[in-house]
Amino acid sequence: MESRCRLVLMASGNGSNAQALIDACAAGALPAQVVAVISDKADARALVRADAAGLPAVHVGRRPGESREDYDARLADIVTGFDPDFVLLVGWMRVLTIGFLGWFPSMILNLHPALPGELPGTRAIERAFAEAQACARNATGVMIHYVPDEGVDDGPVVATAPVPILPDDTLDTLEERVHATEHRLLVDTMRNLCTDLLADRTLNSPLTNGVHT
């Protein structure tokens, strides 16, 4: 029986959150292995990070004239080939259609740099900082949520962490603190989810239930 969960990471850019998970898996900090890093951008640093770690680094670009639905069907076929237990959107910048999401029920998690119900969509940290500069907020946060449908940053919440916005913050210092919180929350959350999944598999295995094949 597989003793570690299989993680497929999907990222469109720098991939620092992917790196946090790659490092945690390599250090044995969570019972999981990253089996692939996938990006829709050929020049994404996330792919460079995966390659440096000896992991499959897969670019899945959109073909000329290809519809969202056809792209997502092709993407789903590629991800399925890695037999994931969880698919993690860690800086994935495309809204996925049900043509992808439907293949991975209760398996897709998204990381978003804001608290539930706040700042959906792109540039959430920049928007939080701008609101703080206008004296409209003094904190933001990070959340991890399931992605059951095509809604933007509004699926069932798994974990959250607050991030204060300090009076002397710059956008750079706020981004650094948000990213550090993301890395910590990702690793802690996936440790819990993977531990629970593996325990459930053990509990329901034929050997555990006294059935020998």
| Pair of tokens at residue 153 | 């940053």
Query: Which entry of 59, 112, 145, 179 is annotated as an active-site residue?
Result: 112
In the sheet that 108-112 helps form, which strands lie side by side, from edge to edge?
57-59, 32-39, 5-10, 86-89, 108-112, 139-146, 157-164
Q: Which of 174, 171, 149 is nearest to 163 (CA)?
A: 174
List 141's β-bridge partners, or say none.
162
Q: Which of 8, 167, 163 is nearest to 77 (CA)?
A: 8
Q: Examine the residue annotation and report whether 145 is marked as an active-site residue of this protein.
A: no
Q: Which of 22, 38, 21 is nearest to 79 (CA)?
A: 38
Contact 71, 10 (CB under 8 A): no
CA distance 108 to 90: 11
Query: Where in the sequence numbering do the catalytic residues fall?
Result: 112
